[in-house]
């Protein structure tokens, strides 16, 4: 799971979209997420992306 700056930023001069997973301690990331300054991009989002791609793969298989 990774954390990125939301559109509420910039945060600490980091623009929205910056991956801050390794920049802050876990407790700080949770606080910032609660305040809306960072959001998680994690497993659930990755699975949703994979599922939406599967249809394309089947269509492109040519069967």
Partner 1 sequence: MTAIKGTKSKVLVDEFDFSGDTASVTVTVGMTEEDATTLQATGAEYEPILPSLKIEQNGYLVSGSDMESELYDRLGVAGSYVAALFDTDVVGCPAYIQETFNAQMNIQAPAKSLMTLNGAWGMGRGGHRGIRIFDGVIDATGAQAAVDLGSAGSDGGIAFLFVQAITGSASGAAIKVQSSATEGGTYADEGTFTFSALGAYAVALTGTVNRWLRLNTTGLGGATDFTVVAIVCVNDVTQ
Does the footprint of partner 1 cover residue 3 (CB under 8 A)?
no
CB nearer to partner 1: pick between 28 and 44: 28
Q: Judged by CB under 8 A, does residue 12 bind partner 1?
A: yes
Residue 38 tokens read as: 């960072």
Site stretch for partner 1 (CB under 8 A), options 30-38, 39-47, 48-56:
30-38
Of 3, 60, 59, 7, give the one whose Cα is nearest residue 31: 3
CB of 23 to partner 1, least distance (A): 9
Please state, in angstroms and rounded to a whole number, the distance separating the CA atoms of residues 33 and 8: 11
Q: Are 8 and 36 in contact (CB under 8 A)?
A: yes
Q: Using CB under 8 A as the criterion, which residues of the chain lie in contact with partner 1 when the complex forms?
A: 8-14, 24, 28, 31-32, 35-37
């Amino acid at each position: 799971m990774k954390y990125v700056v939301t559109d509420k930023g910039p945060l600490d001069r980091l623009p929205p979209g910056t991956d801050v997973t390794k920049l802050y301690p876990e407790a700080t990331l949770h606080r910032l997420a609660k305040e809306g300054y960072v959001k998680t991009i994690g497993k659930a989002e990755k699975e949703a992306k994979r599922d939406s791609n599967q249809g394309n793969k089947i269509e492109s298989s040519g069967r």
